[in-house]
Amino acid sequence: FIAGDMLLSSTLRRAGIERSDALVLCLDQDEEAVMVALKAREIRKDMRIIATCARYEDYSIMKDAGIDIVIPSSKYQGDMLADAVLDAYSVDLLFGLISGKGSLELGEMVVERESKLSELSIPSGSRIIAVRSGSNYTVDLNDGLLLRKGDIVFFLKEKLRK
């Protein structure tokens, strides 16, 4: 446990930011998350930064500040509530995947070398559902789809029952 002002570089260093792979920010104030992210980027340019976003209007500011993944929690909650009115089972499935309480798990793997989709080795019993290349996603999947190094393949699999 590290006590201190998270807006100070010295506090971030004492917390071990120089050897961390990621920084997760769950703060009440989006402005504080932006400032901490900027300080963290000064220290570790290659660090993955993930943050919640209290106000959806701050989403683009947080992305511009170098936060890799911004999760606008109130927007997602509102969207899920609205979708549940018409698509209750879809929302239930999505919640199960997010919370880990469903019977399915969402997995991902980074493509290590250029290859075709059919050449990938995914966990047994899994089904590929999407591919991310750069900032674009596709669900138009066929065995001949060419994957580039760094693409991300998403798959669903059943949880092992205990």
pLDDT in tens, 97-154: 777 777 888 889 999 999 999 998 888 888 999 999 998 999 999 888 999 999 999 9
pTM here is 0.61
Query: What sign does the CA torsion over 53, 57, 61, 66 have?
Result: positive
160 to 103, 112, 125: CA distances (angstroms) = 9, 27, 11
Helix H or strand E encompassing 146: strand 146-147
Estimate the share of the chain in helix, then strand, then coil, as percent rounded to the nearest 5: 40, 25, 40
Residue 45 has pLDDT above 80, yes or no: yes
Band (pLDDT 50/70/90 cuts) for residue 161 is low
Band (pLDDT 50/70/90 cuts) for residue 56 is confident
pLDDT in tens, 68-89: 999 887 766 777 777 777 777 7
